Structure 1
Amino acid sequence: MVVSYKSSYTVKPAEPTWTGSLSLSEWDQIGTITHVPTIYFYPSSQKLLIDTVITTLKDSLRRALVHFYPLAGRLRWIGHGRLELVCNAAGVQFIEAESQSKLDSFGDFSPSPEYDFLIPSVDYTIPIQELPLLIVQVTKFQCGGISLGFTISHAVVDGQSALHFISEWARIARGEPLAVSPFIDRKLLRAGDPPVLSRPILDHKEFNHPPLLIGQTNNIEERKKKTAVAMLKLTKSQVDKLKNMATNKSLNTGRPYSRYETIAGHIWRCACKARDHKPEQPTALGVCVDSRSRLQPPLPPGYFGNATLDVIAVSSSDELISKPLGYAASKIRKAIMTVNDEYVRSGIEFLKSQADLTKFQDLHALGGDDGPFYGNPNIGVVSWLTLPIYGLDFGWGREVYMGPGTHDFDGDSLLLPNHDDHEDGSLVVALCLQVSHMEAFKNHFYQDII
């Protein structure tokens, strides 16, 4: 694909905003602290006049940044692997581009290397205090359609907050008022506060390094192996079959297993089979849990920041493969159920007590090899099933497709509602695995549904 980059702007808030240093919470500063990409495609229509589109997006973005002013700031290292957010209205980057390709050439819009030309890249050789926290690229296609690519700093927002911003930006573009104002103050998660030494700290397995392949002392070689991405669709019937498999052949006496618990367990088992692990191989599954409603009191609507934490379920490959699906689902449920007010606040204190946070950060994109890595023999499953990811209308109608950008970390997976039939219970698994394991995974993924 050939993409011509026409111009690049710095878009700043339309009005003066608060300036100063904003402390980040511990959840903001661990895990992925780089930018996360997403992309929307819009078909050609009479309303898609590119000059009007550009003007509308830039003007509404300026107004949106008045409310979401932290996104117009910059991060700054303050030592010991810790960051703070400098609110200085430096602005976000806005790129205009054109392509002679047509939307039809993308087929089912499965992520491909071509997305790299449509989603802004981030040059991490630039000092972090100079990097925009949000970069937007609008690309016009020969057919008249457009793509809207975002990349947004995960050190500033999680998925819930990112979608909150994007949806409110679209409302402003349509001439509507904000639905929910952002809650900026991160003191509710004790951002910037010293540790409370008297608070008991629970056992947080998620902060330990995940299991390594038997016989290896690090995961550097695993990181180097070539990966591939697949979009695997599950119909509602297939989802229901898996849920029945998990619930009917397990010792679970409570509520039936959820879609997430079931599908994540299925992915975990299939990955163990595809990777051909030794029976005694330990393996972990990372679960991203939103703590907003689990805290007491719950965080306010519109809390703008990271409020998710990763917990892990751990087992052996043999146990996962030899036992019914309900065993894997039960391990995942147990991990999720640990996340309550006490556990979240204990995790905060644990991190506050650390001399340096670097070992808890995934610095792969920044050129480092430290930090967590959910590759072979581990896997991570993130759910977007309950997030309002579809229906983004800036005034010219809803997207024809929305999805994640390219990702190349072995073991990354994402659950999304099926865009075309997202109300019928069908879903899509966006999965990244080593090339040598992908075909075997696909076979197990569908053949094991009985």
Structure 2
Amino acid sequence: MDVKIEETTVVYPSTPPFTDDHVLSLSHLDTDINLHVTFRYLRVYVNDPKNRPVERHDPFQVVMSSLSSALVHYYHYTGSLVRREDERLELHCHAGSGVPVTHAVVDRSLSGINYLDDYRDVNFLEKLVPDPKGEDALTRPLVLQVTRFECGGWILGAAIHHSLCDGLGATLFFNTMAELARGAGQVKFEPVWDRSSLLEPRNPPRVEFPFHEFLSLDKNSLPYIEPDKPAVRECFKVKDEWLDRLKGFLHEQSGSNYTTFEALGAFIWRARVKASKIPSEEKVKFAYATNIRRIIIPKLPFGYWGNGCVPMYVQFLAQELVNQPLSKTADSIKKSKFNTTDEYVRSFIDFQELHYHEGITAGIYID
């Protein structure tokens, strides 16, 4: 099964959002070194044969039109990310810039690949999403691909530089595109930039939490990752009944209820440590990102679409993690969520300000 590229078109804002070139600052959460990457994902749209008027529309044209309208408000996606002398990124916005959109086709129906549900052909999936490399990822922080299938259904592939937004921020943008595609005369929520002012470090910065204990990676732990061996990507479908059994088992152990994240996170963490044969006295950490949009004071405005998460941690000795009841690990993950406070977030931002050049390792590994 092949993906045929038809053309790549640069889409510009339907109305020029500005005339003078300018530079925008990012927040300390945006410029976290761990976010100097591109995240990529797919959205599958099934053609509904009952909806004949919509079926006649070319999805490539619909996407280009709605994107052009959305870029009037989110023109930042047309900019280029540039490294300053201090290695932090900033956004350079140039009048007349746009976003590249690739048009592709597949001579097969979506139903033939089960609408990508539990589909494991990674090579085929890679062809459905743009993959900018190196400097291209900075100069083109947003790249889209529309792939139409024989049945009329289509897939929207997106590559977005993480320094511009997280998943929630990207969702605000794509929701705006969807609203405009459905004929909305105006956007529901105007995007809010104000990155550096809303999430700026305090003056003077102060750190009230022991981040040094968590935000550094012991280089001696790297051999457990076996860097000489190529990474292998595998997809595992976790069935609902398996999750229900796991949660039921944890409930029997502790009498508490756990979310999928807490239960599955505890299970995978323990399995990872056991399989790696990490020494018993080694400290192992479970790192995850937690949303701070409604936690900080004042709360971030709803239209804020920058990165809005900070790292949170749970830590044990390897032998503790492996030998203790799994419910205790799940319980520790559950309780850690309540450690996120306004002071925690502000301290993390201040820590970024003070120690950025040391190379903060938040969120890279689950050790």
For normalisation by structure 1, the TM-score amounts to: 0.71
What letter is aligned with 1:182?
Answer: P
Q: Is it true that 1:29 corresponds to 2:31 in the alignment?
A: yes
Paired amino acid for 1:300: P
Alignment partner, residue 331 of structure 1? 332
Q: Could you tell me which residue of structure 2 aligns to residue 425 of structure 1?
A: none
- State the distance in 1 between where 2:70 and 2:89 align: 24
Q: Structure 1 residues 309, 53: CA separation in 2 closer, same or farther (over 3 Å shift)?
A: same
Q: Counterparts of 1:296 and 1:60 in 2: how far apart (Å)?
A: 35
Number of equivalent positions? 355
- State yes or no: 1:73 paired with 2:79: yes
Post-superposition Cα deviations, 1:305-348, rounded to whole Å, max 9, x if no partner, equal 00111222222333223211221113323432221100100111
The residue that corresponds to 1:15 in the other structure is 15
Deviations 1:401-431 (CA, angstroms, capped at 9, x unpaired): xxxxxxxxxxxxxxxxxxxxxxxxxxxxxxx
Q: Does the 8 Å CA contact 1:36/1:154 hold for their aligned counterparts?
A: yes
More off after superposition, 42-51 vs 259-268: 42-51
1:93 partner SS: strand
Query: Where does the alignment leave 5 or more consecutive residues of structure 1 unmatched?
Result: 362-370, 379-450
Verify the 8 A CA contact 1:293 1:299 in the aligned structure 2. Answer: yes
Tell me the CA shift for residue 246 of structure 1. 3.1
CA distance, structure 1, for counterparts of residue 144 and residue 220 of structure 2: 37
1: CA distance between counterparts of 2:198 and 2:227? Answer: 35
- Relative distance call for 1:224 and 1:15 in structure 2 (3 A) is farther
SS in 1 for 2:300: coil
Inter-partner Cα distance in structure 1 for 2:11 and 2:363: 34
Tell me, yes or no, if the aligned pair for 2:9 and 2:100 is still in contact at 8 Å.
Answer: yes
Matched residue of 1:98: which SS? Answer: strand
Determine which structure has the larger strand proportion and give its number. 1
Mapped partners of 1:220, 1:288: distance in 2: 22
RMSD over aligned Cα, in angstroms?
2.7
1:176-230 per-residue CA deviation (whole Å, 9 max, x = no partner) reads 2422221111144344x6x5235344211442116754xx5x6774374332222
Q: Is the 8 A contact 2:283 2:317 kept in 1?
A: yes
Tell whether the 8 Å contact from 1:48 to 1:145 is kept in structure 2 after alignment.
Answer: no
Instruction: Tell me how far 1:247 sits from its aligned partner.
Output: 4.3
Q: 1 or 2, which has the higher helix percentage?
A: 2
Structure 2 residue matching 1:343: 3-state secondary structure = helix
User: Which shifted more, 270-279 or 326-335?
Assistant: 270-279
Separation in 2, partners of 1:203, 1:141: 52
1:277, CA displacement in angstroms? 4.3
Please name the residue that 1:347 is paired with.
Answer: 348
**Conserved 8 A contact 2:28-2:196:** no
CA contact (8 A) 2:118 2:237 kept: no
Larger CA deviation: 286-295 vs 83-92: 83-92
Amino acid at match of 1:282: K
Distance verdict in 2 for CA 1:198–1:267, change over 3 Å: closer
1:183 to 192, 196, 203: 192
* Counterpart residue identity of residue 253, structure 2: K
Aligned equivalents of 2:25, 2:94: Cα separation in 1: 14
Match of 2:160 in 1: 152
Amino acid at match of 2:365: Y
Structure 2 residue matching 1:178: 3-state secondary structure: coil
What is the aligned partner in structure 2 of residue 38 from structure 1? 41
Q: Residue in 2 aligned with 1:373? A: 364
Q: 2:84 is paired with a residue of what secondary structure?
A: strand
Q: Identify if the C-alpha distance between structure 1 residues 241 and 99 changes in structure 2 by more than 3 Å, giving closer, same or farther.
A: closer
* Letter aligned with residue 146 of structure 1: W
Mapping of residues 310-325 of structure 1, within 5 Å? 310-325=311-326
Q: 1:291 to 1:57 in 2, by over 3 A?
A: same
Gapped regions of structure 2 (runs ≥ 5): none
CA contact (8 A) 2:287 2:363 kept: no
Residues 96-105 or 161-170, more deviating: 96-105
DSSP-derived class of the 1:28 partner: coil
* Separation of aligned partners in 2, 1:148 and 1:258: 30
